[in-house]
Amino acid sequence: MRKLNEIKELRLAFPMRIAIGPYRLMVLHAPRSAMTVKRRLYEYDLSQGLVWLHESLEGRQLARYFLKVVTYIIHKAAGCQDGCIEEAFTQSIAAGLVSFAQTNAQVWTWLNGLLGKDNKRGADYARVAMGAPHAQFLVPTAVRIGRHDVRIVRLRHETAVRHSVDGYFAPATRLIEVYEGLQGPHRAVVVMHEITHAIHNLAGLKNRDTRARFVQAQVEGWLRFTEQNPAAWMWLLATIREQADFEPVLRVA
């Protein structure tokens, strides 16, 4: 385990390598002259296994465009395209981000270092993402999604079994229910899945909206989530990282 002062100095130099589903890619911090379309700040070519991010990008802006590329490729790997239903895009990003975090641990830590910039509690994002020792985080009971508060409550075992679901988001009441028996990364996937439903709802997406609209809403929604809900984000980071070392999401009475 790295010492705290070493963690604070952690940097990831370009070029970096990432893996998303079947794709293995090199990410380059590139000058505008390297872009096919000069006004773009990012490009990717899956056939060449290359991602270009404009060299002017830094901090949260760099995080935004990196996350945008990752989100596009996650959906590409999952087969989500224009015409796919909202549920498919929701599960794709939830499972895809958790898988990305586990497969690209060093890059995930670097990304969370960027996300933590200019956030009073963000200094801990990279530490938690890489598994540094920390106090146990509490399961979030409410999160802020844009202008709205969304409550998170337990979904009882009997209900989950009867309806064959692990979670549910109710737009009318802004309520998320999560099956009380979940553990580790699967719990993180389910919570991210239901929060993503809430993000889509706030963005006014249609059931069969375009992939570009889903990507935009997901990237902006999750970036804002990390700003508005630092404790909940760190709980998610810890749950992804430490897997089943946590107590059940809510104790069964």
Does residue 245 surpass a pLDDT of 50?
no
Query: How much is the average pLDDT of 103-110?
Result: 94
Query: How much is the average pLDDT of 221-225?
Result: 97
Does residue 120 surpass a pLDDT of 60?
yes
Please give the pLDDT value at position 182: 86
Does residue 243 surpass a pLDDT of 90?
no
Does residue 228 surpass a pLDDT of 70?
yes
Structure-token match 């070519």, residue found: 45
Does residue 74 surpass a pLDDT of 70?
yes
> Would you state the structure tokens that stand for residue 188, as one six-digit string?
């993180």
Please give the pLDDT value at position 163: 85
Digit-coded pLDDT (tens) for 17-35: 999 999 999 999 988 888 8
Peptide bond into 22 cis (omega under 30): no
Predicted confidence band of residue 37 (pLDDT cuts 50, 70, 90): confident
Predicted confidence band of residue 8 (pLDDT cuts 50, 70, 90): very low
Enter the pTM of the model. 0.88
CB 51 within 8 A of CB 36: no
**Number of other residues whose CB lies within 10 A of the CB of residue 40:** 12
> Would you state the structure tokens that stand for residue 54, as one six-digit string?
């404009």
Please give the pLDDT value at position 244: 39
